[in-house]
Amino acid sequence: MSDLNAEWIIETTTENFRQDVIEQSMERPVVVDFWAPWCNPCKQLIPMLEKLANEFAGRFVLVKVNVDDCPEVAGAFGVQSIPFVVAMVNGQPASHFQGIQPEPQLKAWIESFVPSASAEAFDQGQQLEADGATELAEAAYRNAVQADPDKAAYKIAHARVLLALDRQQECREILDELNARGFLEPEAQALQQQLELRSQVEDSGGVQEARSALESNPDDLSLQIKLAEALGADNRFEEACEMCLAIIGKDKGDIGTKAKEVMVGILGVMGPKSKLASELRRRLATAFY
């Protein structure tokens, strides 16, 4: 009746319940099945739960609680009749049912609180990107897009890391695909502008040429902006943004506004979970005051 070889199917005890259920549910959903060996409906339900646990392959954990062995746990959950099944998410009960459910209804219930495979891949990509693991983030975002090709947010994130990896043609292909709908989201627009900027900067000689020009006239704010653009196009985001903030500190007029536009474009390609981008965005918000 049991498939305890699967890492996502567990028989818990009173002593291990907190670790197996409460703590684990902070990482991924946990389905807690209260059962007993003498309960015939339980014997019908458990194989369905185990089948779905294997089908979801770790997107949730099935934890089985024998009420005869763990009466304190059953009492804490107010279990009066079994089978009794509770979904735990972030340490709290999210949903429950009592008795037998048909497998399609049971699967729909699980899907109501378990993130989709595409959402999990996307979340993983965001975390990897924030940690600076750009190549791994690219693979995770690619998986998210493959799992849900209609999700524009996944494609935009994929394009963002492709640009960070200097895989410009692949990034451009994604943006062209998005643009075929007749519009682009603001972040996709920022990526397109960054692509265009990279082409312009490469044509004009890149960071070295921009720095050489500025050395000849170090007080020229327009040349400082060109260097900031070149640095941003070269993925040297922090240096570029610091230069933009310095320009804004000297000029609140047209030049400062242009520096702000450059910095906003750079922030748009740094990723939503970038701590550096959040700090720079906060500084930009106060730079004009």
Q: Which residues are catalytic?
A: 39, 42
CB 85 within 8 A of CB 50: no
Q: 59-86: buried (b, 16+ CB within 10 Å) or exposed (e) per residue? A: bbbbbbbbbeebeebbeebebeebbbbb
3-state class (DSSP) for residue 276: helix
Q: How far apart are CA 251 and CA 249, in angstroms?
A: 6
CB 30 within 8 A of CB 88: yes
**Helix 254-267 crosses helix 221-233 at what angle (to 10 degrees)?**
10
Q: Which residues contact 96 (CB under 8 A, 6 or more apart)?
A: 84, 85, 86, 87
3-state class (DSSP) for residue 253: coil
CA-based end-to-end distance of the chain: 68
Q: How far apart are CA 26 and CA 183, in angstroms?
A: 38
Q: How far apart are CA 240 and CA 227, in angstroms?
A: 8
Q: How far apart are CA 50 and CA 260, in angstroms?
A: 55
Q: Which residues contact 206 (CB under 8 A, 6 or more apart)?
A: 230, 233, 234
